[in-house]
């Protein structure tokens, strides 16, 4: 029997974009598979808690990044998912450190990736 796991993140806003906390401006986002080169750079920055390189190497998992459309160099969030026969499982989710807590830059980031995982689940049956 598989142990139940709890996802430990907060969806602060449900939108089809992310919003700058200070200005209220809305920015369209892009979700795409992340590359090893991008993860290497992200890992070297020291701003991510999880070992995303190890996650990326797991053959049964897909790692996606969320970025601002037109600014794909700055990763806002990462998610690792596994496609199961009857559901999509979120293995790991992590917000960039600059999007956490009271001083965060953007809100709505978590909601975008959770919605992406839900849409992917529907698309894949």
Task: With respect to residue 48, please indicate whether it lies within any of the assigned structural domains.
Answer: yes
Other C-beta atoms lying within 10 Å of the C-beta of residue 20: 14
Residue 47 lies in a domain: yes
Q: Nearest 5 degrees, angle CA 124-CA 120-CA 113?
A: 165
- pLDDT at residue 32 in the model: 93
CA geometry: angle at 116 spanning 111 and 117, to 5°?
A: 100
Does residue 3 fall inside a structural domain?
no
pLDDT at residue 16, as a whole number: 58
Residue spans of the chain under pLDDT 70: 1-16
Is 66 inside any structural domain?
yes
Q: Which sign does the torsion angle of CA 27, 99, 21, 108 carry?
A: positive
Structurally, how many domains does the chain consist of?
1
CATH of the domain at 100: 3.40.630.30
What pLDDT does 58 receive?
95
Instruction: Indicate whether 56 belongs to any domain.
Output: yes
What pLDDT is recorded for position 12? 44
67 domain residue, yes or no: yes
Assigned token pair, 90: 């979120």
In angstroms, rounded to a whole number, what is the distance separating the alpha carbons of residues 39 and 68?
17
For residue 7, is it within any domain? no
pTM: 0.83
Q: Is residue 5 part of a domain?
A: no
- Determine how many CB atoms are found less than 10 A away from the CB of residue 19: 18
Dihedral (C-alpha) 65, 56, 54, 88: value to the nearest 10 degrees? 80
In whole angstroms, give the CA distance from residue 104 to residue 97: 8
**First and final C-alpha spacing in the chain:** 24
What confidence score (pLDDT) does residue 76 get?
A: 92
Residue 42 domain boundaries: 18-123
């Amino acid at each position: 029997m598989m142990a139940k796991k709890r996802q430990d993140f907060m969806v602060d806003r449900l939108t089809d974009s992310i919003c700058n906390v200070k200005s209220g401006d809305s920015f369209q986002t892009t979700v795409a598979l992340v590359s090893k080169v991008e993860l290497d750079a992200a890992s070297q920055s020291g701003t991510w808690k999880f070992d995303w390189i190890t996650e990326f190497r797991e053959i049964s998992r897909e790692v996606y990044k969320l970025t601002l459309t037109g600014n794909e160099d700055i990763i806002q969030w990462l998610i690792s998912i596994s496609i199961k026969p009857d559901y999509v499982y979120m293995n790991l989710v992590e917000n960039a450190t600059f999007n956490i807590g009271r001083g965060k830059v953007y809100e709505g980031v978590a909601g975008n990736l959770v919605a992406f995982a839900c849409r992917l689940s529907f698309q894949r049956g």
